[in-house]
Amino acid sequence: MTPLRRYIPPPLEAHGQKILLLLLVELCLLNVADFALTRYAMWLGFATESNGVMDFFFQQSAAAAAIFKLTMVTGGAVALWLLRRHRAALFAAVLLTGVFAAVVAYQVLWIASL
């Protein structure tokens, strides 16, 4: 009987690492846009923060919320970059960037519709 061997995917090659880097840069920029648009929608009086953790930081101050949000996402992006040899880092970056792009596009359209 052949023993089961753990599948180890091949490491992410240089081309994939370039995509990962670009996606992480996009992610950080989208995070800044997400924060700015959320803050603007709240200032307009038509939106409230539905994320309980972010709402806690917004209750403290906008600066606290900004520091928390930017630190978390930028830290996550750095962590993914440190894991760049793993293909999972690229999948995670694609997913996160896609979701953030969707959120930012939704916010832009929503604010424009007010």
Q: Which two tokens stand for residue 57?
A: 């930081």
Q: Residue 21 CB, nearest distance to another protein (Å)?
A: 8
Contact predicate 100/31, CB 8 Å: yes
Q: Residue 16 CB, nearest distance to another protein (Å)?
A: 8
Which span sits near another protein by CB under 8 A: 31-39, 55-63, 74-82, 90-98? 90-98
Check residue 22 for interaction with another protein (CB under 8 A). yes
- Tell me the Ramachandran region of residue 45: left when phi exceeds 0, alpha when psi lies from -120 to 50, beta otherwise: left
Check residue 43 for interaction with another protein (CB under 8 A). yes
Q: Which two tokens stand for residue 99?
A: 């979701």
Dmax (CA) of the chain: 68
Which span sits near another protein by CB under 8 A: 5-13, 38-46, 50-58, 81-89? 38-46
Question: What is the rounded distance in angstroms from the CA atom of residue 74 to the CA atom of residue 36?
Answer: 16
Which residue, 67 or 85, has its beta carbon nearer to another protein? 85
Question: What is the rounded distance in angstroms from the CA atom of residue 4 to the CA atom of residue 114?
Answer: 59
Check residue 50 for interaction with another protein (CB under 8 A). no
Contact residues toward another protein (CB under 8 A) are: 15, 18-19, 21-23, 26, 43-46, 94, 97-106, 109-110, 113-114
